[in-house]
Amino acid sequence: MDGTITRFNLDFMAARRRVLQDLEKLNLRTPDMTEQVSIYLMLKRLRDNVDKDTFRDIRRKLYTYVQEMEVKAAQDVRLYPGALETLNKLRALHLKIGLVTNNGRAGTEITLQRLKLNDFFDAVVTRDDCEEMKPDAEPVRKVLERIGARAEDSVLVGDGLMDIMAAKAAGLFSVAVATGPFSGEILLKAEPDYVLTSINDLPQLLEHLDNQQ
């Protein structure tokens, strides 16, 4: 969603700093937990060092910070130029479309309602619907199950490294768009199947792929 359909406006670095401060106070921060590591990956590393109940309490607290940031950002997020027209084109191709985001449900629903996007998606999977998040395959597989699509017939489009990794983990074609916080050069290092300048090039790519079958 963010950085692909909408303009990326999340201050994720501020959220990471706040999380790191809390982990520091709890003596749970390790040297490999830096601002360059996503909160999700920090939690995955933390899971092996604490008991289940402690982990769930910490995760709930940290996600509260993240949700506050997401809800605030959702109040004024804007569509990426041309995204609405692109979604209409995708609908005209009679495709099943799912949305999978590491954002929580609260911020996601605000964004979809404000921008009138709900009708474009056959299923929406958020952080609150899964135990794991991207780059894990779980949320991708869950959205495929909900829309009734096979991995080999699907593509995952996203602006981040975790999107590419999640697509590979779930067995989908990965399509990277350089409209988020990552440059095209960084995205290429993750070796996506395709790189587009924006989601607006997606209908043409899908028609090309369809013609090759």
Domains of the chain, residue spans: 12-74, 83-212
- Count CA within 13 A, CB hemisphere, residue 169: 17
CB contact set of 102 (below 8 Å; sequence gap of 6+): 40, 126, 127, 133, 134, 139, 162
Q: Which of 81, 62, 56 is nearest to 20 (CA)?
A: 62
CA distance 3 to 147: 23
Q: What is the DSSP letter of 80?
A: P
Pair of tokens at residue 151: 């991995």
Q: What was the pLDDT predicted at 213? A: 66
pLDDT lower than 70: segments of the chain: 213
Q: What was the pLDDT predicted at 65? A: 86
Q: What was the pLDDT predicted at 173? A: 95
Distance (Å) of CA 188 to CA 95, 159, 175: 27, 11, 11
- pTM exceeds 0.85 for this model: yes
Give the orientation angle of helix 202-212 with respect to helix 83-92, to 10 degrees: 30
CATH number assigned to the domain covering 83-212: 3.40.50.1000
Q: What was the pLDDT predicted at 9? A: 87
